[in-house]
Chains A and B, each alone.
Chain A
Amino acid sequence: MNYKSLSARPTSNHATLVVGGLTLVGLGVLLVLGLVVSPPDTVQGETVRLIYVHPASATMAYVGFGLCALGSLAYLWPRTRSLRWDRFAGASAEVGVAFCVTTIVSGSIWGRYSWGVWWTWDARLTLTALLLAVFLGYLALRRTGGDPVGRAKRCAVAALCCFLVVPVDHEATNWWVTLHQKDTLFRIGKSPLIHGWQLTTMLLSFAVFGLLFTWMLLHRLGIEALEDRIEEEGYVWAVAERRAEGVAQAPATGPGRPLPGPGLAGGPAAPTMRSAIPPGEGR
């Protein structure tokens, strides 16, 4: 097995380098714009700068969960059934969870300074927290191991279950709040104070977070593809090893069978394997 080809920045390729570079530059610009150029808010002061992190991060979390559901749907659809979609769903859920945590943490800090509390039972907050819990469960389910095909199907159904409940959750939390809460809270999207540098910076934050999301997703997919490739190449070894067990145990009964030798895997004499991940597709 040629591990050398797998070593050294194994999930990098031109696409990730370009996206990664753009992300880095974008983050630099965003830092300068967000911390220096854009003015502090008259009402909220310096904490308004969280607006360059929080909404973009929340959007990316929702995008991640949405892509996870799409990937799962594509996996379950017989015509497009491929473990690639399963990997795509898993990777997007993972990145989505990362952004979801960022969203909740940044939102909580913001809430502490603008509302005076770390948490409030706002519809959007509740929905986001529920989504995080649901997708943490999904990730836990993904880590249970076992037969990859079985795991993929199980997880795909789970992801769809999770996602189909999003509208129900959304309605529920909305009604709940409207029934209980008399005063409407400050909503980011409805803030009238966005213009000029603030607007520019905020739009940039969406673009940069989008790039960051893409970069993380590409690397995560690359890692999963590599893991699968190790398994795939390990399969030939495993079969040879399994057959060798029989020869070691019952040498008297079997005729001399030409056993696959140790040079089998990775060598030119390797049996034909339709690889699940053709080289170069590991992204």
Chain B
Amino acid sequence: MWRDAVLVAGKDLRVELRSRVTTNQVAPYALIVLLLFGFAFDQDPYILTHAAPGLFWVAVLLCALLAIQRSFGLEAADGARDGLRMSGLDAAGIFLGKALAVAAQLAVLEAVLAGGIVVLFGARLGHPLLLGATCVLATVGLAAAGTVYGVMAAGLRVRETLLPLLLLPVVAPVLLGATQAWLAAVGLSSGGGWRWLTLLAAFAAIYVALGVLGFGTLLEEA
């Protein structure tokens, strides 16, 4: 399973290295989203600084959608999914591999966006350990849930429009938990940030387990 996961993740990342879709298209898109938030909130530094964590995670969600679309767009082109099925790779391995590749790209995007909100919104990053843990858990959860729903929609003709409808409501707890944890990290929220981490961890665990168990069924039937 792990060998297959590394193989698939390596393939996806190599495709990314060659095509540079994430770095050349999705990352600029993320920055544009941040600029739009700036326009929408009319340069009010107070609102922007306080809303920065929430806006950050909304931007991450939007980018994650693109990354997942791209990840399964690859497999939809030229019968590549059939190739994947014919190869006899372990389905759980394929799931972990694709989720890993998406997570790696999300990590890069998060770094870009974090730089963006610090520069543009004057946001503070706060407690580094709490922040790091939040990012790791939220990224794993997003990548796992995104991969599960990505393959669910992958075989359908309406996948571009269906995926956001399926995915966004489901990842709402990630948005909530990650935002609250970050607010706690910069001291804008009174509650304990670590409490929200358990929520993020539970979400990630549920979706990694579901993906490992159910990906084979979805890959076959999509």
Q: Do chains A and B touch in the complex (CB under 8 A)?
A: yes
Beta-carbon contact of A150 and B152 below 8 Å: no
Q: Which of B62-70, B73-81, B85-93, B161-169 contacts A (4 or more CB under 8 A)?
A: B161-169
Residues of B within 8 A of A157 (CB): 148, 152, 210, 214, 217-218
Q: With A137-B169, A168-B203 known to touch, is A176 a contact of B214 (CB < 8 Å)?
A: no
Beta-carbon contact of B206 and A153 below 8 Å: no
- Taken together as a complex, chains A and B put the C-alpha atoms of A147 and B145 apart, in Å, by 24
Beta-carbon contact of B169 and A133 below 8 Å: yes
Main secondary structure of the interface of A (DSSP, over half): helix
Taken residue by residue from 180 to 222, chain B's Cβ proximity to chain A (1 for < 8 Å, 0 otherwise) reads as: 1000000001110001100100110011001000100110111
B158 interfacial by beta-carbon distance below 8 Å? yes
- Taken together as a complex, chains A and B put the C-alpha atoms of A14 and B162 apart, in Å, by 39
- Taken together as a complex, chains A and B put the C-alpha atoms of A210 and B155 apart, in Å, by 38
Beta-carbon contact of B222 and A154 below 8 Å: yes
- Taken together as a complex, chains A and B put the C-alpha atoms of A147 and B155 apart, in Å, by 11
Residues of B within 8 A of A172 (CB): 172-173, 176-177, 199
For residue B74, give the distance in angstroms from its CB to the closest CB of chain A. 20
Identify A164's interface contact among B162, B210, B217, B221, CB under 8 A: B210
Residues of B within 8 A of A133 (CB): 168-169, 172
Beta-carbon contact of B210 and A161 below 8 Å: yes
A231 interfacial by beta-carbon distance below 8 Å? no
Beta-carbon contact of B176 and A176 below 8 Å: yes
For residue A281, give the distance in angstroms from its CB to the closest CB of chain B. 25
Beta-carbon contact of B166 and A154 below 8 Å: no
Q: With A130-B172, A157-B217 known to touch, is A141 a contact of B210 (CB < 8 Å)?
A: no
Residues of A within 8 A of B148 (CB): 157, 161
Taken residue by residue from 141 to 175, chain A's Cβ proximity to chain B (1 for < 8 Å, 0 otherwise) reads as: 10010110111011001101110110011011101
For residue B48, give the distance in angstroms from its CB to the closest CB of chain A. 19
Beta-carbon contact of B218 and A179 below 8 Å: no
Residues of B within 8 A of A147 (CB): 221
For the complex of A and B, list the 6 residue pairs with the smallest distance between their C-beta atoms, beginning with the closest: A150-B221, A133-B169, A137-B166, A179-B191, A172-B173, A157-B214
Chain A interface (Cβ < 8 Å from any Cβ of B): 76, 130, 133-134, 136-138, 140-141, 144, 146-147, 149-151, 153-154, 157-158, 160-162, 164-165, 168-169, 171-173, 175-176, 179
- Sample of 13 A–B contacts (CB below 8 Å): A133-B172, A141-B152, A144-B158, A146-B156, A150-B220, A150-B221, A153-B221, A154-B221, A161-B145, A164-B210, A168-B173, A172-B173, A175-B195
